[in-house]
Structure 1
Amino acid sequence: MQNGLQKFNYEVFVSKTTLDMMLCDTKQPNIDLYQLIILSESLSNKEIEIITPKLKDTHSIVFRKYLREPLDEKKNNMDSLGIDSWIHSEIEMDVLRELISEYSNEWDTIFTKENDNLHFEPLDQLMIGFTKNQKKCFQVLYDAQSTCISREDLCNYIWNTGKTKSNLAQLSVLIKSLRKKLIKKGFPADIIETIWGKGYILKRYY
């Protein structure tokens, strides 16, 4: 795969050291400049669960390579962490090229918006188009005034059932969808920041 990507003039960087640093939670490597990260099929699901949220904090596109198609339940669990696409280890290079192109266009659109002049509506108008739970989530993050809200507190506020595995998975999907809606409204891609091991912060840009 590495040789195939290089034939398409993609620069490829392979690093086990970077992986070890993320798994050990030591000083985090500078991965902000990597537009696409492909997670090897040699990584365990546990390792994926540890590093994917950290990768998504940099707004990178994350692909997960596999040898055998995972079960839907396991795939959904991984997707809730922020996996953008699944690719077979024997994927044809022209298919991978088009897949990368598709996600790269989305990535460029997001970061181009960060350089635009921003104009934001009043809060009630801003939440037009949000689902009920998205409104709840946004409101509590907004009221926190740029302080971190724990995942447990968000689960309690949104579902009133405490922090369960199901709620945590739903919360990850909810945050991801809410962030996308805010980006479409003109906010920077880091409008909702994930504080690893703690919770989320809604940054105040207005």
Structure 2
Amino acid sequence: MTRILILTKNISVETSLQLQLQKLNYEVLVSVSIWELWANARRVDHLMKSFQWIFLSETLTDNEAKEFGEQVTTDCLVRIVGEEPDEAALANWRSWHVFDWVEANTSLERLREKLLYKSLLQRVDFSVDPLSSSPRFSDYQKKAFPLYFSDIHFTKMEKEIIQHLMEADNLSLARDELCHGWRSKNQNSKLSQLSSAITRIRKKVADAYGIEDAIHTLWGEGYQLNTYFYNCLMKGEFQNQQH
């Protein structure tokens, strides 16, 4: 069972999200004391390493989240927010190893979709030097290496989805546009096929190259290509193509 730790300054604030996560069969611990141990002494409680994800509460400031994230050497942190963050905030968070976010009052369906296809980490790691301000990255994150379809064996449908996203403005398209022209006349069936194909692409890319979330879900809109995945493809499969 996946274990999630929510670090907070006020347990009652996290009640709604905790219940939603537990309904999805996640084991959840909400803790003020573990946060205070780190905040007061910069000591990492050994219990932290038994969790796959650590959620950082809205009650923690961005500066506190940043300082905590700089001790983490794997992208295991999720920021709890009141509303969807903008791109500038997301860029900052990624440099602190905050790899995703969830809304505090999100619906069960939306939470399930957001968490279901995440590739979970085996354990939480922390840097040896707690004062270091430079986050560590795996080798695959240091540069955009060439990536070819032949290395991953995508299906024809999966290749077409990636191709359409590569050619799209902002690397994103609505779901209806991505499955436009597919044979099925049932729109729900096509959307289901699309969702399954996106899931397979994410898994194949993660398994082959360690790139998480090759395609992002844009809630209520569609899908967007991960910029890093895009850069890898531009140096490989699409290096001599214009889009």
TM-score, normalisation: structure 1: 0.50
TM-score, normalisation: structure 2: 0.43
